[in-house]
Structure 1
Amino acid sequence: MVSRAAHRLLRRGCRTTAGLALGGVLAFVEAAFVLLTLPALAFPPARARALACARKLAEVERARLARYLRSENSSDYGGRRALEYLAVRCVVGGLGAGIFLLILWGAVSGAVMVAQLASGEPIGGGTDQDWYDLVAVPLFGVLLLFLAVQGLLGVAALDRRVAHRFLGPSEQDLLRRRVSQLAASRAEVVEAVDEERRRIERDLHDGVQQRLVALGMVLGRALRGKDPEHARELVRQAHEESQRALAELREVTWRVYPIALDTDGLEVALESLAERSALPVTLDCTFSRRPGAALETVAYFVASEAVTNAIKHAGASRVAITVTGGDSMVRVRITDDGVGGARTSGGGLSGLARRVAAVDGRFTVDSPVGGPTTIEAELPCA
Structure 2
Amino acid sequence: MQVNDHRAADRLPAMARGLGYLLASLLTAAVALLALPVLLVPATARAWASWHRRRADRLLRRPRSGPVRAGAWRVLGWLGAYVVTSLVFGLVAVVCAGNAVATAVTVPLWWALPAGTRAGGFAAGVPLTGWGTALTLGTVQFVIFAALTYGLVPPLARLHARVGVALLSPSAADVLAQRVETLTETRAGAMNAHGAELRRIERDLHDGTQARLVAIAMRLGVARESLGEDPELVGRLLREAHENTEEAMTELREVIRTIYPPILADRGLAGALTALGSRSAIGTTLDIGGLGTIPAAVEAVAYFTIAEALTNAAKHSRATGTTVRVARAGDRLSIEVTDDGIGGADETLGTGIAGIRHRVLAIDGTVRVHSPAGGPTTITVSLPCAS
Structure 1 residue aligned with 2:265: 262
Structure 2 residue aligned with 1:234: 237
Shift of 1:320: 7.6
SS where residue 326 of structure 1 aligns?
strand
> Is 1:80 equivalent to 2:85 in the alignment?
no
Work out the CA distance in 2 between the residues paired with 1:349 and 1:67. 28
CA contact (8 A) 1:322 1:333 kept: yes
SS where residue 264 of structure 1 aligns?
helix
1:316-367 Cα distance to aligned partner (Å, 9 max, x none): xx9987532134621346899xxxx99656597644431133343337698x
Amino acid in structure 2 at the alignment position of 1:110? F
Shift of 1:238: 1.7
Work out the CA distance in 2 between the residues paired with 1:23 and 1:365. 28
Work out the CA distance in 2 between the residues paired with 1:50 and 1:268. 59
Structure 2 residue aligned with 1:118: 130
Structure 2 residue aligned with 1:222: 223
Structure 2 residue aligned with 1:195: 196
Shift of 1:253: 1.3
Work out the CA distance in 1 between the residues paired with 2:48 and 2:200. 53
Work out the CA distance in 2 between the residues paired with 1:287 and 1:326. 6
Quickly say closer, same or farther: Cα 1:138–1:333, change in 2 above 3 A.
closer
TM-score w.r.t. length of structure 2: 0.64
Quickly say closer, same or farther: Cα 1:115–1:14, change in 2 above 3 A.
farther
Return the match for 1:52 from 40, 45, 49: 40
Amino acid in structure 1 at the alignment position of 2:237? L
Return the match for 1:248 from 246, 251, 257: 251
Quickly say closer, same or farther: Cα 1:147–1:95, change in 2 above 3 A.
same
Shift of 1:218: 0.9
Work out the CA distance in 1 between the residues paired with 2:346 and 2:52. 40
Quickly say closer, same or farther: Cα 1:147–1:113, change in 2 above 3 A.
farther
Shift of 1:268: 3.3
Work out the CA distance in 1 between the residues paired with 2:277 and 2:261. 13
Quickly say closer, same or farther: Cα 1:238–1:362, change in 2 above 3 A.
same
What is the percent sequence identity of the aligned residues? 29
Structure 1 residue aligned with 2:327: 326
SS where residue 265 of structure 1 aligns?
helix
Structure 1 residue aligned with 2:147: 146
Structure 1 residue aligned with 2:381: 379
Work out the CA distance in 2 between the residues paired with 1:308 and 1:118. 76
Amino acid in structure 2 at the alignment position of 1:88? A
Shift of 1:295: 3.8
Work out the CA distance in 1 between the residues paired with 2:85 and 2:326. 47
Shift of 1:163: 1.4
Work out the CA distance in 1 between the residues paired with 2:56 and 2:323. 40
CA contact (8 A) 1:295 1:381 kept: yes
Unaligned runs of 5+ in 2: 1-7, 104-119
Work out the CA distance in 2 between the residues paired with 1:167 and 1:352. 30
Return the match for 1:93 from 84, 87, 91: 87
TM-score w.r.t. length of structure 1: 0.65
Unaligned runs of 5+ in 1: 1-5, 38-48, 124-132, 369-373
Structure 2 residue aligned with 1:361: 366
CA contact (8 A) 1:295 1:379 kept: no
SS where residue 355 of structure 1 aligns?
helix
Amino acid in structure 2 at the alignment position of 1:380? S
1:73-132 Cα distance to aligned partner (Å, 9 max, x none): 7444454224423443415632542564477789653375885573888x9xxxxxxxxx
Most deviating of 58-67 and 142-151? 58-67
Quickly say closer, same or farther: Cα 1:349–1:120, change in 2 above 3 A.
closer
SS where residue 229 of structure 1 aligns?
helix
Work out the CA distance in 2 between the residues paired with 1:223 and 1:280. 48
Work out the CA distance in 2 between the residues paired with 1:84 and 1:152. 25
1:141-182 Cα distance to aligned partner (Å, 9 max, x none): 634531343222222122111211223543422331122111
SS where residue 109 of structure 1 aligns?
coil
Shift of 1:302: 3.4
Work out the CA distance in 1 between the residues paired with 2:87 and 2:370. 45
1:266-307 Cα distance to aligned partner (Å, 9 max, x none): 2433566689x8x96765432022373444311322355678
CA contact (8 A) 1:113 1:137 kept: no
CA contact (8 A) 2:337 2:378 kept: yes
SS where residue 255 of structure 1 aligns?
helix
Amino acid in structure 1 at the alignment position of 2:358? R
Work out the CA distance in 2 between the residues paired with 1:183 and 1:261. 30
Query: Residues 20-59 of structure 1: matches in 2 within 5 Å?
Result: 20-21=22-23, 23=25, 52=40
CA contact (8 A) 1:16 1:68 kept: no
Work out the CA distance in 2 between the residues paired with 1:364 and 1:63. 21
Work out the CA distance in 2 between the residues paired with 1:104 and 1:344. 50
Work out the CA distance in 1 between the residues paired with 2:17 and 2:377. 40
Work out the CA distance in 1 between the residues paired with 2:197 and 2:89. 61
Structure 2 residue aligned with 1:129: none
Work out the CA distance in 2 between the residues paired with 1:309 and 1:138. 62
Amino acid in structure 2 at the alignment position of 1:178? R
Query: Residues 137-176 of structure 1: matches in 2 within 5 Å?
Result: 138=139, 142-167=143-168, 169-176=170-177
> Which entry has the higher C-alpha Rg, 1 or 2?
1
Work out the CA distance in 2 between the residues paired with 1:15 and 1:236. 78
Structure 2 residue aligned with 1:126: none
